[in-house]
Structure 1
């Protein structure tokens, strides 16, 4: 049985924090692959700053050159709110010989028991939480813990810096940096 990690998110834009998280979980959990799944409309966030197509292209750029990282457009293709339960129902139905590991940050683990249809979701996936300082673990749902180095990088920080003309180089993978510059993403008018 193949072991696949799922890393979902808005990826607005994808950054080195996402890549480090995925690489550490890939190694620590001895997974076969990590699938990055950009969300269409996350239920807990506002609309993304750039289009779904641009976010998908940035994630494809970010994972280029890493053979165990793949990109899935399953949530973008489905449209509407991107509930994890809907995605995992679809993925488990079409991938019977796969055990899925859903990767979440420490900030999300704290509210995991409040996720939409969490009981069913817990039967479809094994949760893997990456350690982040300042968040408590919710012991109601079983979660594997993987420690990663602390990188204080966020997509909102990157968007903010880009909007005022500050450098975002070295916060995002080089291909993503070039894509953002070429398409003038996140620049203020």
Structure 2
């Protein structure tokens, strides 16, 4: 049985933070593979700036040569923004290539805090009861305090694994987009191939 992780994000664009988080999980927790899972561009709660094809191109460039990284495009195929994380995980568990394996949803401590608050997360009970998680450290957030302060998270605390990254990289996709927009040069926050792709395609500028 293989151990697979799924890291969901808009990847608009993919950053060194996404990649270092995924590599840390591979190395420290013994995962066999991590799948980068871009979110639907039809979602109403967040504007996606690059096209689906451009986001896929950038992910493929970023993970080229690392056979322990892969793409999972299920959420891109959703016809409207009606997909919830608990439904996505149910679908993945039924896919032939994943049926016999151990699946984890990967997230930052900021998403753990969002789940604890609950405003933007539907079907929290189903999500937490049916799945296992890896939670990645974020500056300024105490992961254990977040769990301790939530009755629902405490109920499923045994489903969480916490990872404290050696590199605390909080550079976000939105920060990179903003730097391009105001004429700054954020080239070292992402792989060189991604920087060149953005520049050559006049993205975010």
Normalising to structure 2: TM-score of the pair?
Answer: 0.85
User: For the Cα contact (< 8 Å) 1:128–1:146, is it kept in 2?
Assistant: yes
Deviations 1:50-90 (A, max 9, x none): 21221121111111111100011111012322421221111
Higher helix proportion:
2
CA deviations on 1:24-74 (whole Å, 9 max, x unpaired) are 111121011000000014868422112122112111111111110001111
Contact 1:14–1:58 (Cα < 8 Å) also in 2: yes
Please give the secondary structure, in 1, of the residue aligned with 2:189: coil
d(CA) in 2 for partners of 1:163, 1:185: 9
Q: 1:136 to 1:118 in 2, by over 3 A?
A: same
Map 1:122-133 → 2, pairs under 5 A: 122-133=128-139
Q: CA deviation at 1:165?
A: 2.3
Aligned to 1:86: 87
* Aligned equivalent of 1:22: 22
| Partner Cα distance (2:80, 2:91) in 1 | 15
For the pair 1:144 / 2:161, whether they are aligned, the reply is yes
Cα gap change, 1:42 to 1:23, in 2 (>3 Å): farther
Rg larger for: 2
1:3-152 alignment, distance < 5 Å: 3-41=3-41, 45-81=45-81, 82-94=83-95, 95-113=98-116, 114=118, 115-137=121-143, 138-139=146-147, 140=153, 141-142=156-157, 143-148=160-165, 149-152=167-170
Unpaired runs of at least 5, structure 1:
none
Q: Give the 4+ runs in structure 1 shifted more than 6 A.
A: none
- The CA distance in 2 between the partners of 1:90 and 1:120, in whole Å, is 14
Runs (5+) with no aligned partner, structure 2: 148-152
